[in-house]
Amino acid sequence: MDKVKITDIAKQSKVSPTTVSRYFNHPELLSQETQTKIEDAIQKLNYKQDHLARILVTGESNLVGVIFPHLHLSFYTELLNQLIKYAKEKGYHLIVYTSNNSKSEELQLIQNLLSYRVKGLILLSHLLSPQEIEELPVPVITIERTGGNYKQINNDNFTGGKLAAELLIQNDCDVFIHINNDYQENWPSFKRILGFEFGIKDRCYERIVENNFTDPYTSKAESTMQKVVQNLLTKYPNKKIGVFCSNDDIANLFERECIKQDFDVPNMVKLIGYDNSPVSNYAVYPITSIDQNISLMAQVAIQSLDNYIPCETIVPAILVKKIQHYDT
């Protein structure tokens, strides 16, 4: 296998390798004549740059590491989708990982990524402490997780929760329920709960938290949801129930379970999810949701790699009404 290298086209076009290198990196320094000579040689020999060798010299790579907890949440896959889209525009390459397991595994992954001299890291997992993140020798961008001295991109969760509460109140619900997977109080998404409970004030309210909803596409999640819905049905007969779920996938699981149990979803249960991800639109009854603007989050994340400023960016939360909710 005879790889064409910079010296080959140097010979072919009768200039030095340095000049050829300059053709790619500082073409303005070359005469028009040399440029065309080099161009011809490149065409003729079908030369392709070797990024790897270049990175070794310059220290600047276009590789970016992305670590998700898992890929079973449409928020994650849609974010990945958008990250890829914006990365493509900037010429970045995403090395994608999931890491729902051990912290040591995640640290190992990161070490591996660093050994490829990634330009930066986009983290969605919650395993590392802010301090550990700060100590990493590359720019780190976190999305929806605890802060520290690095770039954070978070949704305006408090407002999101508040908007959910307000809509459910406008819809004349008698009982208010919040359903969440396991969380920690220092996660940004905890503010959804705070915002919701702030909006609800001292109305009849219940907060339901279940570990099993962390990955909603498991049989555990399903059986847990079955019980949750059953309980609500027996506990609040003939009441109009307003339910706010911490993400669309959980909301979707909830809606399905209601349908199975013949709960009158569009009328006696008013449902609101979070993320406004595709799953919310294509539920049996499309689910009203709080839009996190995933696309904007992705865009900001990719842009931050270029011009890194360790600060928090708050992306607005917007209520998107679907057929379950009337205009007021």
Partner DNA sequence: TTGAAAGCGCTAACAG
Partner DNA sequence: CTGTTAGCGCTTTCAA
d(CA 293, CA 79) in angstroms, rounded, equals 10
Structure tokens, 70:
């898992």
Closest CA to 218 of 68, 96, 73, 69: 73
Site for its own copies in 26-55 (CB under 8 A): 48-53, 55
Backbone phi, then psi, for 37, in 5-degree steps? -55, -50
Backbone phi, then psi, for 291, in 5-degree steps? -80, 125
Pairing of strands 269-275, 312-315: unpaired
Within a 10 A sphere around the Cβ of 220, how many other Cβ atoms? 14
Given candidates 10, 80, 163, 251, which one binds its own copies under the rule CB under 8 A?
Answer: 80
Given candidates 43, 58, 102, 112, which one binds its own copies under the rule CB under 8 A?
Answer: 112
d(CA 299, CA 280) in angstroms, rounded, equals 22
Residue with tokens 């998700």: 68
Given candidates 30, 114, 314, 318, which one binds its own copies under the rule CB under 8 A?
Answer: 114
| Among DNA, its own copies, none, residue 229 binds (CB under 5-8 Å by kind) | none
According to DSSP, the residues that pair with 313 across neighbouring strands are 153
Given candidates 11, 39, 44, 56, which one binds DNA under the rule CB under 7 A?
Answer: 56
Q: Judged by CB, which is closer to its own copies: 209, or 284?
A: 284
- Closest approach, Cβ 300 to its own copies, in A, equals 20
- Closest approach, Cβ 138 to DNA, in A, equals 14
Given candidates 45, 54, 170, 256, which one binds DNA under the rule CB under 7 A?
Answer: 54
**What DSSP character marks residue 311?**
-
Given candidates 11, 16, 44, 306, which one binds DNA under the rule CB under 7 A?
Answer: 16
| Among its own copies, DNA, none, residue 24 binds (CB under 5-8 Å by kind) | DNA
HSE of 72, CA atoms in CB hemisphere, 13 A: 12
According to DSSP, the residues that pair with 273 across neighbouring strands are 289
Residue with tokens 């003729």: 44
- Closest approach, Cβ 259 to its own copies, in A, equals 5
d(CA 323, CA 328) in angstroms, rounded, equals 13
Given candidates 10, 15, 38, 113, which one binds its own copies under the rule CB under 8 A?
Answer: 113
Asked whether position 9 contacts its own copies by CB under 8 A, the answer is: no
Asked whether position 94 contacts its own copies by CB under 8 A, the answer is: yes
d(CA 287, CA 276) in angstroms, rounded, equals 8
Closest CA to 318 of 181, 157, 168: 157
Asked whether position 30 contacts DNA by CB under 7 A, the answer is: yes
Residues near its own copies (CB under 8 A) are: 1, 48-53, 55-56, 61, 63, 70-72, 77-78, 80-81, 84-85, 88, 91, 93-98, 109, 111-117, 137, 216-217, 219, 222, 253, 256, 259-260, 278-279, 281-284
Q: What residue ranges bind DNA (CB under 7 A)?
A: 3, 5-7, 14-22, 24-25, 29-31, 33-34, 49-50, 53-54, 56-58
